[in-house]
Amino acid sequence: MALMGAPSGVLGNRCGGLVLGLACAAWCVAEEVKAAPAPVAADVSPQSWVTVFADAGAGGYEAFPDVCRTADGRLLAVCYAGYGHIAMPDARLPKGGRLSGCFSDDEGKTWSAAFTLFDGPYDDRDPSVARLKDGRLACTFFTLKPRADGQAGYESIGAFIVTSSDNGKTWESEPRLITKAYYCSSPIRELADGRLALGLYVENEKAAWGAVTFSEDGGKTWRAPVDIPTGGLRLDAETDLIQLKDGSLFAALRGSTTSAWSLSKDGGKSWSVAEQFAFPGHCHYLHRAPGDIILMAHRLPDTSLHYSLDECRTWSANVGVDTVFGAYPSMVTLKDGTILIVYYEEGPGSNVRAKRLRATRQGIEWLPVGG
């Protein structure tokens, strides 16, 4: 979620100023621009998507989802649940927005009723979930609280983590602090050397940038964040990252009118100055599909994705996913090698949706969920 201020915040450009209807008809390249096929329109027939969350019991607004596979083979989806885009504690919801979850036993075709994953005293939001190599599930999020002394607005109290050791049946009741000064909106990425990496971001009235923090003890403690240089760009960030086959780390960052990328070749100790993609994007999600096709889903235009066949050096034309513009997507590989993508609608009564695709070197094919 794009916010202004660290740790104090006022709503940034996540809710307003959406640039809709844009399309990228060229490959965006880190070093050059190449011709590409025309953008692929979204399949938005009613049967093409399923509802993951419709009402989690917190006011009917579900947003900012994530999904992963548990060690017992099920799919776990998580989302923010409240009465609106930001749900401070009030008579309707005394503890404010909360984190909700649900399971699928049939590869995303149907989903269980929502359960409360975590609900602290304030507005807990932007959950992301990952299964670690030891089988634990790790859910990261950040929390907003009303400003002190009756002032208008809200402020952040930090980014946190809770874990589950029983495939999501129970979760830690006391979250562990990752950082007070940064936000997070993407999942933990477990690296080849066993470290955990988490994309972060921070904003204030003068600047906005991304960062990455690392844990060497399974998420118990976290290193001081490493900031990603912006080169003068204002990057609302919502940083996500992926490890490339050569071991380097690739980060995608949100901008106010565009989006950007950065590369680390020393394990995250330092990062290249961020450079712009040739297309906009909010809250990118990076996923390696079978065949070493890297998918990067995002908001703008509407719900979209690009894909790379060469380890993030070049990117396809825009592929439309859906005409709703909530996005904040997440992806998981299904047992048959296809991909499930989850995202949200936005607006009053916002729900979370899922679609299924097959990624090949020839392009993206949309398939029925559970088909």
Predicted confidence at residue 25, as pLDDT, reads 29
- Give 10's pLDDT tier (boundaries 50, 70, 90): very low
Region 155-180: mean pLDDT is 98
Predicted confidence at residue 317, as pLDDT, reads 97
Percent of the chain predicted with pLDDT > 70: 89
Residues 247-295: pLDDT tens digits? 999 999 999 888 999 999 999 999 999 999 999 999 999 999 999 999 9
- Give 40's pLDDT tier (boundaries 50, 70, 90): confident
**What's the pTM value of the predicted model, to 2 decimals?**
0.90
Lowest pLDDT segment from 31-35, 130-134, 139-143, 162-166: 31-35
**Residue-range domains of the chain with CATH:** 3-14+24-367 (2.120.10.10)
- 238 has pLDDT over 90: yes
Residues 183-228: pLDDT tens digits? 999 999 999 999 999 999 999 999 999 999 999 999 999 999 999 9
- 79 has pLDDT over 80: yes
How far is it, in rounded angstroms, from Cα 131 to Cα 352?
21
How far is it, in rounded angstroms, from Cα 80 to Cα 78?
7
Percent of the chain predicted with pLDDT > 90: 84
Largest Cα–Cα separation, the chain: 58
Q: Which residue has the tokens 């047992």?
A: 335
